[in-house]
Structure 1
């Protein structure tokens, strides 16, 4: 439980916000509010964070560790990868961290669905043909697929995974979840056994040692020919070299990748030109009201923090998410 009488040394914000959103935060916080622009990385920002009691955004991990008065950090992300290397058994005694939880469930789920439909209905290829000024109806039309009735495996059972399964309802897709504690598939042995039976495999897992490399070359080879892979969880989930090989050979039917092992994806990386790849460049969580939703969640947690109530979406460092 956070002590509401602690952490009143000011609010540090590292997030791109509109004028009204900044005004909302100024009204919320009785003390000084410091707005840092993401990516500026100035010494003035470092001093402001060191003096703050509360922070909103994703400041550098080393600066978080060296902010002695910081009692609560509300991340502007679901992922916590940048902070996993800190000494949480010690740091966690004075600092509570919350993430965005289910705030991105709808946009990420919709992007996953859009990417799958783009591949099945040839939208990715048709967009490229338009840019080239090329008419290829007779070649494209016979290759188009339907999502209706496709057998879908979702790796994960968090809020995004559940929302994605709901969006598949009208398509009549049987959905199976892999999750160690609560999935339809709970063990790696069963995952290996059943993986060849799915038309679409969707990765929505957090980045932990247990999920890193889960879809390695061996498991990618177990996927059925023509299957589509989606990854909107963590880039570390997939062996990208093996994925490129499977796609280039034509054995897999395509991939929708919102996350990659290295971001930004470097120039010349084979995923830029590999056939059948939809790259959404880690934009799946975005929407026109993204920053407003972050501020609203923070405002709710701010009230809880100062009332001594449990905060929404506390990070469980022992579990890695």
Structure 2
């Protein structure tokens, strides 16, 4: 491991193309030896590898002296790193950093996130969860664990996804990929999005919620999306509907969801995100019927780290060539 050198002076403007050729890189990711060597080959300057969520004084000092960071270091340390010019997050979400003073900090620091990197895995997880509920896979898995043969009880309740009416909250890369995956099933898909959605306003949303068999939340976590599916909107979901949330846990009223699921009014829920993570012991969602909890794993895949490094390397190439990087966070919009 190499200590990052102190930069000669603090940057005066947000000009990523002016990164020094020997820019020091701080990395806060779980990497194997081959992945570390790959990063060293990308960036010609010194590289420092820290533990994830590090509270080490040495790590904090090196971050403060580095020009570039890869990962999700603590927000307070990012704010106190005067030489940091570019932060490549290892996530799509930016919630950890939303409270910083970006009108000031943004004058010297460019932040990029993973953008559409998780489009395929998250969309596939949503589809898998929906199919599991429709085809009884969740119930059958439990019956197998208990060595219980209940064919006559399970078979009459199985449903077909073919021809289902699906509402996707959002129109980003994950939402568009999920719509593509649903197309072969002959699903009718509508998007709720202010700019270019089929449903653009909350009034339209309220009127049309009861039309849909499946509602999928794929919205970023902003003040505008928090509690969008409050108790009133949860209650407007049609009987038997499936609710999916792979965006942010703040989207939905969990107490209202639990009540609707426990009563049998809703047909199920697929939840990759919850308001509190890890979900605490004894939380009703652990035991609520017809719930699939994917524990914020939807973006995962065996090659996840490789793809993160690929994106970092491409953005490094862009920045050093004076080109705009991919997936720049727009703090005024919250994503």
- TM tier, smaller: over 0.9
Residue 44 of structure 1 deviates from its aligned partner by: 1.4
Verify: 1:240 aligned to 2:260, yes or no: no
1:126-165 correspondence runs (5 A): 126-165=140-179
The equivalent residue for 2:64 is 50
Runs of 4+ residues deviating >2 angstroms: 1-9
1:165-176 correspondence runs (5 A): 165-176=179-190
Where structure 1 has 5 or more consecutive residues not aligned to the other structure, the ranges are none
Is 2:16–2:110's contact at 8 Å kept on the other side of the alignment? no
| Structure 1 stretch displaced more, 11-20 or 33-42 | 33-42
Verify: 1:105 aligned to 2:119, yes or no: yes
Whole-angstrom distance in 1 between the partners of 2:259 and 2:119: 31
| Structure 1 stretch displaced more, 245-254 or 24-33 | 24-33
The equivalent residue for 1:62 is 76
The equivalent residue for 2:236 is 222
Residue 255 of structure 1 deviates from its aligned partner by: 0.1
**Secondary structure class of the residue paired with 1:281:** coil
1:208-266 deviation line (CA, Å, top 9, x unaligned): 00100000000010010000000000000000011000000000000000000011111
The equivalent residue for 2:10 is none
Tell me the TM-score normalised to structure 2 length.
Answer: 0.94
Where structure 2 has 5 or more consecutive residues not aligned to the other structure, the ranges are 1-13
Is 2:23–2:43's contact at 8 Å kept on the other side of the alignment? no
Whole-angstrom distance in 2 between the partners of 1:319 and 1:12: 27
Verify: 1:310 aligned to 2:299, yes or no: no
The equivalent residue for 1:202 is 216
Whole-angstrom distance in 1 between the partners of 2:160 and 2:241: 12
Is 1:100–1:313's contact at 8 Å kept on the other side of the alignment? yes
Out of 39, 47, 52, the residue aligned to residue 53 of structure 2 is: 39
Whole-angstrom distance in 2 between the partners of 1:212 and 1:235: 9
Whole-angstrom distance in 2 between the partners of 1:9 and 1:297: 18
Equivalent pairs counted in the alignment come to 321
1:108-136 deviation line (CA, Å, top 9, x unaligned): 00000000000000011111111111111
The equivalent residue for 1:6 is 19
Aligned alpha-carbon RMSD (Å): 1.0
1:192-222 deviation line (CA, Å, top 9, x unaligned): 0000000000000000001000000000100
